[in-house]
Amino acid sequence: MKINQVEELVGITKKNIRFYEEQGLISPGRNPENGYREYSLADVEELQKIKLLRRLGVSIEHIRLIREGSLSFDSCMAEHAKVLSQEQHDLEMRKEICRMLSEGTDSFSELKPEQYFDEIKTMERGGARFVDVEKTDVKNKRRWGAIFSGSAVILLVSILMIVLLSLNSSEPMPIGILLYFIVIGALLIAGIVIALVQRMKEIDGGEVDEARKY
């Protein structure tokens, strides 16, 4: 089957399917006549397994080791349960800081960060982990960068269409040519919107950055 069919069956984007292939997690066959990828039901099943483990936060590297037989499945799950317990502990520590802020400070203008940074450092020495501010801010920067770029192109195309219609009102052109340019402009805007929505999903999902992590 084609990648579009696999995308619909599994609910994973084409970009992520190709990413998993690049990481060696799936190896679809090739059509000998045209060289195109041909995905089997076994590939779909593998992707479903990968999707499940990724939804749980299991790393690409661990999934690869499981498939290679270098890491047992039960060991991986037990280890990942420990990771999730650590994350739960981290959330409890953050909640504790929020409670302290709520009880100790009435407004943002009165906030004295130093004492809370000291408390955070004490918790970190005890094993707690807090938010990576740099990583979070970069993610937001990517999101707004994509929105700005997409909106700018949509605005440009819209202006061009308005100019075209304005010129046509003074010097009418053949209806076929006018419709052609209008349809092209509409398709461009629709394509940009679809690409922008997909980009937002990628940024929020993080899959496009997985190769950097592992």
Q: Which of 89, 96, 3, 113 is nearest to 47 (CA)?
A: 3
Confidence of residue 208 (pLDDT cuts 50, 70, 90): very low
Instruction: Name the domain count of the chain.
Output: 3
pLDDT tens-digit series, residues 18-74: 999 988 899 999 888 888 889 999 999 999 999 999 999 999 999 999 999 999 999
Domain that holds residue 12: 3-68
Whether residue 75 is contained in a domain is answered as: no
pLDDT tens-digit series, residues 141-151: 677 777 888 88
pTM greater than the 0.75 cutoff: no
Q: Could you tell me if 35 and 95 lie in one domain?
A: no
Confidence of residue 122 (pLDDT cuts 50, 70, 90): confident
Q: Could you tell me if 43 and 17 lie in one domain?
A: yes
Q: Could you tell me if 110 and 170 lie in one domain?
A: no
Whether residue 104 is contained in a domain is answered as: yes
Question: Residues 4-10: contacts with CB within 8 Å, 24+ apart?
Answer: 5/39, 6/39, 6/43, 6/44, 6/47, 9/44, 10/44, 10/47, 10/48, 10/51
